[in-house]
Each structure stands twice: as structure tokens, then as C-alpha cells.
Chain A
Amino acid sequence: MKKFTNSGNIDTRSGFGAGMDELGKTHEDVVALCADLTGSLKLNDFEKNHPERFFQTGIAEANMIGMAAGMTIGGKIPYATTFANFATGRVYDQIRQSVAYSGKNVKICASHAGLTLGEDGATHQILEDIGLMKMLPGMTVINPCDFNQTKAATMAIADYDGPVYLRFGRPSVPNFTEKDGKFEIGKALHLVEGSDVTILATGHLVWHALEAAEQLEEKGISAEVINIHTIKPLDEEAILNSVKKTRCVVTCEEHNYLGGLGESVSGVLAKNDPVYQEFVATNDTFGESGTPAELMEKYGLDTKSIVEAVNKVLAKK
């Protein structure tokens, strides 16, 4: 199978920060808002290099979202940034009315999504944000897998006119996608060709899916790995073409199985080509304190869990 090389562990949020600094130079209408988490969101360079376009809102996320909506009137492209929990659940109605229903060109950019936020615990580890955001009519939902892809996605959404939820994370993870690669919203990426099972992964789970595919190959199982960086709109064609061949699916995400990528995939399969599916996702639970690795293991989101899910779905096939 095709091998991917980790060019060095780095956090996806730094990819966001790098993308923002770049956008600051290329897109004069891009502005950034942040609710007292500038360092955590890696916006220090943007703030330093483009101070007139950086807006510190204080710990006031509702006002930040509303301001971002207002800033689009007159032509700015606002990036509203904070932790995923405070960027979604805390301000759901503000996003719903002032951004989504009003069709405003706001980019909601959320770091520290999922369990890998780690030690701060469940108050900060949102596992419901993909569901919350994908249910909003007109909202695009993107969850890139590494530094390079997060940077590319950050830049690509500036050229798309409409509300976007961009989700990334805190921990250092392998960086393995192409540097300065093109990011196409809604276009799934085939990473590994295979014939026995389709593994659809998003975010941090993509690297684990690749590791799982390698381990499976050693056991004579041919896994197809697809990076679903855009959960909405979902690349239905890529999914259906793959399952036509493999006849079973494992979905992988750092999110509750309710409302996540897996559920979106189930909907596509049920309507078009029902096949067995296993979910590598959290099972309707809150998280807890711990290191990212400990949490991913405990909640069944690591490489081993993907291998197990593949074996399970293959047994049913």
C-alpha cells in the first residue's frame, strides 16, 4: 500500500495560525476575532502583522459571533475563533440566527475540539460540535487531519462565500499530507486504495486509519482509506464508489457517533447502497481528564480500535 511519511509532529491549530498569517498578506478583507485565546489559537503572528484587522473581544463569545456577522456587511471576511466548545454549543443561537439563517460569510474556526484537548476535561472537550454545526442549513463543516491540511483549509475557505465551521485540535500529531497542497471543499481524498473494507476517517483519526491499514495489510486485509475532511457537504460519490467495491465501511472520528461523520455516512448508505458499517467514535458519553493518548485509547479512538472495527465489520460482510 501507499506509504505516508510523517514530516514531524505538530498541532493542527498551528496550521490554522500559519494559514491566517498567510491570508493576512493575500486577502486584505480577512479579519480575525478572538475571545481571549489568541495564543491557544496560534493567532499571535496575525495579530502582530495585521493589528488593525485583529479584534480581541474578551471572554464574550456571543458578542464575537454577532460582531463577525455584522462585519460581513460592508465586505469583510471574519474568522471568529475560540475553543470548539465555546465556538458552537455556547453560541448556537447566535450562529443559527445571525450567521446561518442570515447567510453571512463568517468562518467559525474552532480549536481544541474533541478528547485530545486532554487534561482540562469534559467541560472543554466538545464531542457534539460536528452534529450541532452540520444540522444548520447552509453551514459547511470541515475537519482537517494535520498541519498542512489545516493551513490549506484555512486559506481555501476565504475564497468560498458562505458560513463555514472549521474544526481542529490542540495536540501535536503527525504531519503527512502534501505541503501547500490544494484544498477543495467537499472533495474527499483517497489516500490508500483497497478492496476489502472502506475506512472513512476525519481529523486526527486519519493518521490512525493509515496505521490501521498497514497493520491490516500484514494480515492480508486490503483497506481503502479515504480522508473525509469535509463532513458537509459530504462527498457521497467518493463514498458510494468505494463501497461498491468493498461492501463494508468503518467510519472514524473524534466525536460522538450520534450526529457525527458516521451518521452522515449511514444516511448516504441507507438511501443508496446499504452495507454494514462500524463506528469508531465516542459512544454517547462525555470525556474526562487525561493525556490525549490515554483518552483516545480509553474511549476507543486509536489505531487498535480501528483494526478491531474492521475485523468486526468484515465478520458481518
Chain B
Amino acid sequence: MPNIKELEDFVSQVRRDIVRQVHNVSSGHPGGSLGCTEFFVALYQEVMKRKEGFDMDGKDEDLFFLSNGHISPVFYSVLARSGYFPVDELNTFRKIDSRLQGHPTTHEGLPGIRVASGSLGQGMSVALGAAQTKKLNGDDNLVYSLHGDGELQEGQNWEAIMYAAANKIDNIISTVDLNGQQIDGSTNEVLNLGSVRAKFEAFGWDVLDIEKGNDMEAILEGLKEAKSRTGKGKPVCILLHTIMGHGVDFMMQGHAWHGKAPNDEQLEKALAQNPETLGDY
């Protein structure tokens, strides 16, 4: 049985890391990062099978691909605190000569990153390729991917979604962060996605909702259910209902904090709402 309290403490620390990274360089994307914190912590601390040693050869372990690369602050924090690289390195986020680029990249050799992302809509194709290779290698571990909901406006996703169902890629769990927000406003205002569930289902995916996408127990339960649906001839999609900016009250209204850094005063407020649990870097 997972220790929910421990995971929630982990979440609190990651939220501190997110706002501190972004504040430190006055740039970055805190909103989506905060909204997906529970999901990342659940994946890396509880759900995914990960190899010791971080050799990055992509074999004999579960793989994760972040398609919406702008939420790098949460990715970096969870990777560092899962042992992929020193936690102190979070101090270099977005700075010159850093491995922690504004958007994740393999270019600087940062352990845990398997492909560059940031230009949106490309991650599902890459994840599918990795899933296909797992099948060829007889490697029965899973591939996870995460996508923004606004990101689904990119057409390449639908090429990938069509391919995955047609070719029965059933060793992939793709999660859509359904926070309803993007840079210019709500997804409804910018380009209405309609029913994401109906779209994935029409393409032939097995879809499940995690209605409480910022609730650790609900996420663990949802991921467990998703895992149980793999290997049955259909790719699996999780619709993760989150709140952008979750855990920092003034960042939770709308899309304002998609890509904005807190000032000193706002940082203090944000940190006060997320106690230090594992030690700040």
C-alpha cells in the first residue's frame, strides 16, 4: 500500500521547487507544472517501474515522455528528487550553461530526459515509436506520455492517435492534462476542443477519466485502472482533470499563471501554502 501522506509531502516539496525555480530566473511556466504535480509524483514515486542506475538505454523499464515540455519545472524537480541528478542543480534552471534548459532536452545530457520537447504536438509520436520498439524487443514494460489539452490543437497528435489505435499499440498510456487553459485564454475560447473523450474513443482508444486530477489517491487508483487496461489491443488514454496552478491559491484562477513568474512577495505567499518537507535545494 502506498503511503499517501509521504507522497503528499513529496508533492508539497515539488511545488516549492517549481515556484522557486521560476522565481529565481523570473521566467518559466508554473501553472501547468503545479497542476500536474500529483501526477508526476505518483508516476515516478509509485507507479512506474524504473531501473537502478539511470542508464537511459530505454530497455527493461517503463518510459515517460513529456510532450508539453514547457512544464519542465515539475519534471526537473521530480527527476532530481527521484535521483536522476543532484537536487542542487535546480538552481541552474534556465540559466546559461545549464543542463536544465527552458524546455527539456537530451542535448545537454540530463539524465531522465529521453527526447527534446517544447514545440508542441510531437511527444505522442515519439512515445509510440518507443512503445513499438518495446514490442519488437519483447520488453513488456509500459510507455507513459503526458500532453496538454491545448496541445491537442496540433494536428500531429491526431496522426499519432489514429496510428496507435489502427496498429493496436496497447502498451502505451497517454495522459491529457485537462485543465481547460492555454496561453490566450480558456481552451473553450481559444479553440474549443469539444469532447476529448468522444474524439479519442472515435479513434479507437480506451479512455478513462481521473476526475480529481489533483488528488493523490484518485490518481493512483486511476493509474492502476489504466495499467489494467493495457495489453488488450487498444491504446489507453487518461483524461486527467486538473486545476492550473493547483496548490497556490492566487495562481488557480484561469490561465494567468501559464507562463508567468511570481515576484518576491508572491513567492513567499506560495511557499507559505506548501511547507518544506524534504529540504529546499
Binding site for B on A (CB under 8 A): 31, 52-53, 55, 57-58, 60, 62-76, 78, 93-94, 96-98, 101-104
Contacts and interface: CB of A to CB of B under 8 A. Distances in A.
Contacts of B136: 31, 52-53, 74, 76
Contact of A74 (B65, B116, B125, B139): B139
29 contacts: A55-B132, A57-B159, A58-B166, A60-B162, A62-B156, A63-B125, A64-B125, A67-B125, A67-B132, A67-B160, A70-B115, A70-B126, A71-B129, A71-B130, A71-B132, A73-B63, A73-B114, A73-B115, A73-B130, A74-B58, A74-B139, A75-B58, A75-B59, A76-B133, A76-B136, A93-B119, A94-B122, A97-B117, A103-B106
A101 B105 contact: yes
B126 A69 contact: yes
Interface residues of B, number: 38
A67 B59 contact: no
Contacts of A52: 136
B234 interface: no
A58 B165 CA distance: 13
A67 B116 contact: no
Nearest to B60: A74
B107 interface: yes
Contacts of B58: 73-75
B162 A58 contact: yes
A66 B125 contact: yes
- Counting chain A CB atoms within 10 Å of each CB, the highest count among B119, B127, B163 belongs to B163
B52 interface: no
Interface of B: 57-59, 63, 65, 105-107, 114-119, 121-134, 136-137, 139, 155-156, 159-160, 162-163, 166
Contacts of A70: 65, 115, 125-133
A62 B154 CA distance: 11
Contacts of B106: 101-103
Contact of A69 (B121, B129, B163): B129
A229 to B, nearest CB: 28
A66 B130 contact: no
Contacts of A53: 136
A63 B156 contact: yes
A62 B123 CA distance: 11
A60 B116 contact: no
A66 B132 contact: no
Contacts of B155: 62
A97 B119 contact: yes
Given A74-B134, A101-B107, A60 B159 contact: yes
B159 A63 contact: yes
Nearest to A28: B136
Contact of A73 (B116, B129, B162): B129
Given A71-B130, A74-B58, A97 B159 contact: no
Contacts of B65: 70
